[in-house]
Amino acid sequence: MSHLIDVQDLRVSYHSGGRVTEAVRGVSFHLQPGETLAIVGESGSGKTTVASALLGLLPTTARIDGGRLAVAGQDISHASERSKQRLRGRVVGLVPQDPMVSLNPTLSIGKQIGESLLLRHGKRYPGLDADVLELLEQVGIDNPALRAGQYPHELSGGMRQRVLIAIALAGEPQLIIADEPTSALDVTVQKRILDHLEQLVRARGIALVIITHDLGVAADRADRVLVMRQGEVVESGIAREVFSAPSHAYTRDLLAAAPAFGATPKPVPVETRGAAPLLEFDAVGKRFALPRGQHFQALQDLSLAVYPGQTLAIVGESGSGKSTSLRIALGLEQPSSGRVRFAGQEIGGLGWKQFRPLRQRMQLVQQNPFAALDPRFSVYQSVVEPLVSFGLLKGRELEQAARQLMEQVQLPASYLDRLPRELSGGQRQRVAIARALALKPDLLLLDEPVSALDVSVQAQILDLLRELQAELGVAYVLVSHDLAVVASLAHQVVVLKQGQVVEQGEARQVLEQPRERYTRELLEAVPGRRLAVA
Residues that bind other proteins (CB under 8 A): 42, 229, 249-250, 253-254, 256-257, 330, 332, 356, 359-360, 363-364, 366-368, 371-376, 378, 380, 385-386, 389-390, 399, 403, 407, 410-414, 416-417, 424, 426, 432, 435, 438-439, 456-457, 459-460, 463
| Closer to other proteins by Cβ: residue 433 or 531 | 433
Least gap, CB of 183 to other proteins (angstroms):
19
Q: Are 102 and 43 in contact (CB under 8 A)?
A: no
| Closer to other proteins by Cβ: residue 136 or 306 | 306
Angle formed at CA 360 by CA 356 and CA 365, multiple of 5 degrees = 105
Least gap, CB of 371 to other proteins (angstroms):
5
| Closer to other proteins by Cβ: residue 31 or 260 | 260
**CA–CA distances in Å: residue 231 to residues 10, 237, 257, 410:** 10, 17, 20, 28
Instruction: Report the 10 Å Cβ neighbour count for 436.
Output: 24
Least gap, CB of 410 to other proteins (angstroms):
6
| Closer to other proteins by Cβ: residue 30 or 359 | 359
Rounded CA-CA distance 119/96 in Å is 19
Rounded CA-CA distance 236/440 in Å is 47
Least gap, CB of 218 to other proteins (angstroms):
16
| Closer to other proteins by Cβ: residue 343 or 413 | 413
Least gap, CB of 333 to other proteins (angstroms):
12
Least gap, CB of 374 to other proteins (angstroms):
5
| Closer to other proteins by Cβ: residue 138 or 363 | 363
Least gap, CB of 206 to other proteins (angstroms):
34
CB contact burial 105-120 (16+ within 10 A = b; e otherwise): eeebbbebbbebbebe
Q: Are 283 and 302 in contact (CB under 8 A)?
A: yes
| Closer to other proteins by Cβ: residue 411 or 522 | 411
CA 129 from centroid of its chain's CA atoms: 35
Rounded CA-CA distance 418/314 in Å is 34
Least gap, CB of 18 to other proteins (angstroms):
11
Question: What beta strand segments (E) does 115-205 contain?
Answer: 175-179
| Closer to other proteins by Cβ: residue 44 or 505 | 44
CB contact burial 232-249 (16+ within 10 A = b; e otherwise): ebbbbbebbebbeebeee
Helix axes 425-437, 455-472, angle to 10 degrees: 20
Least gap, CB of 182 to other proteins (angstroms):
23
Q: Would you give the DSSP letter of residue 264?
A: P
Least gap, CB of 166 to other proteins (angstroms):
33
Q: Are 343 and 426 in contact (CB under 8 A)?
A: no
Rounded CA-CA distance 35/47 in Å is 18
User: Alpha-carbon Rg of the chain, whole angstroms?
Assistant: 25
Q: How many CA atoms lie within 13 A of 59 on its CB side?
A: 8
Rounded CA-CA distance 68/53 in Å is 11
| Closer to other proteins by Cβ: residue 294 or 414 | 414
| Closer to other proteins by Cβ: residue 42 or 503 | 42
| Closer to other proteins by Cβ: residue 165 or 226 | 226
Least gap, CB of 456 to other proteins (angstroms):
4
**Residue whose C-alpha is closest to residue 340's, from 308, 313, 304:** 304
* Cross-strand pairs, 396: none
Rounded CA-CA distance 360/137 in Å is 54
